[in-house]
């Protein structure tokens, strides 16, 4: 899938990740330190936001903070996830993702806990306090986001297929679920 592009003070920038209020972008031209206007094109629609470069990573990408967040940030995140779903025919993932926060417990996770960021039929993105090594088999207990006592946790095995540190020092971990082998 080709990353969506944006114009950052007339500089082409590729959008790689959204974790509100932050975006991870990459540019062939170095970005300045001052707040800048960011025009994003996602699914043939343009969005203009103001962002402040925050942290430069070794891979050349830059985390920026949305300064006008709010509704435009929510819309931007929604459109970014839609753009990823639109290109999934060319990816391994063939099911849409739903952003939801649920409690996760596992003896295989750092501090034996985490939360979901988004879920699909084939996997889940977890948020953890420490990295998880790629290839780690995880026995997960996922508790629904409800106060009802009628909701039972889901027990499932998975495998960590990627792990990335986020700007806020937390980690996102991509987990491919295996429903054939349950916990």
Q: For position 136, what pLDDT does the model report? A: 94
Q: For position 105, what pLDDT does the model report? A: 93
As a whole number of angstroms, the distance between CA 125 and CA 26 comes to: 22
Q: For position 9, what pLDDT does the model report? A: 45
Q: For position 95, what pLDDT does the model report? A: 57
Q: Same CATH fold, 98-178 and 5-90?
A: yes
Burial of 19-28, coded b for 16+ CB within 10 Å and e otherwise, reads bebbbbbbbe
What is the per-residue DSSP string for 121-161? SSEEEEEESS---TT-EEEEEEE-S-S-TTPPPEEEEEEEE
Q: For position 146, what pLDDT does the model report? A: 56
5-90, CATH topology level: Thrombin, subunit H (2.40.10)
Q: Which CATH class is domain 98-178?
A: mainly beta
Ranges under pLDDT 50 in the chain: 1-10, 71, 88-91, 93
Closest CA to 37 of 11, 73, 61, 71: 11
Q: For position 179, what pLDDT does the model report? A: 75
Q: For position 88, what pLDDT does the model report? A: 46
Closest CA to 138 of 159, 124, 114, 155: 159
Asked whether 27 and 10 are in contact (CB, 8 A), the reply is no
Q: For position 182, what pLDDT does the model report? A: 54
| Omega prior to 21 cis, within 30 of 0 | yes
Q: For position 135, what pLDDT does the model report? A: 94
Q: Where are the domains of the chain?
A: 5-90, 98-178
As a whole number of angstroms, the distance between CA 115 and CA 14 comes to: 28
As a whole number of angstroms, the distance between CA 55 and CA 145 comes to: 32
């Amino acid at each position: 899938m080709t990353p969506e592009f944006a114009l950052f003070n007339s500089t082409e920038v590729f959008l790689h990740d959204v974790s509100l209020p932050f975006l991870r972008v990459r540019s062939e031209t170095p970005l300045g330190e001052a707040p800048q206007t960011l025009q994003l094109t996602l699914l043939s629609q343009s969005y203009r936001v103001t962002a402040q470069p925050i942290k430069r990573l070794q891979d050349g990408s830059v985390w920026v903070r949305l300064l006008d967040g709010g509704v435009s940030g929510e819309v931007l995140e929604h459109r970014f996830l839609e753009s990823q779903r639109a290109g999934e025919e060319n990816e391994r993932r063939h099911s849409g993702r739903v952003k939801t926060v649920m409690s996760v417990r596992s003896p295989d996770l750092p501090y034996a806990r985490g939360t979901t960021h988004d879920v699909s039929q084939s996997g889940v993105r977890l948020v953890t306090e420490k990295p998880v090594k790629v290839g780690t088999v995880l026995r997960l207990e996922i508790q629904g986001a409800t106060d009802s006592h009628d909701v039972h946790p889901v027990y499932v095995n998975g495998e960590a297929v990627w792990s990335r540190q986020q700007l806020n020092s937390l980690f996102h971990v991509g987990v491919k679920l295996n429903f054939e082998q349950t916990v």
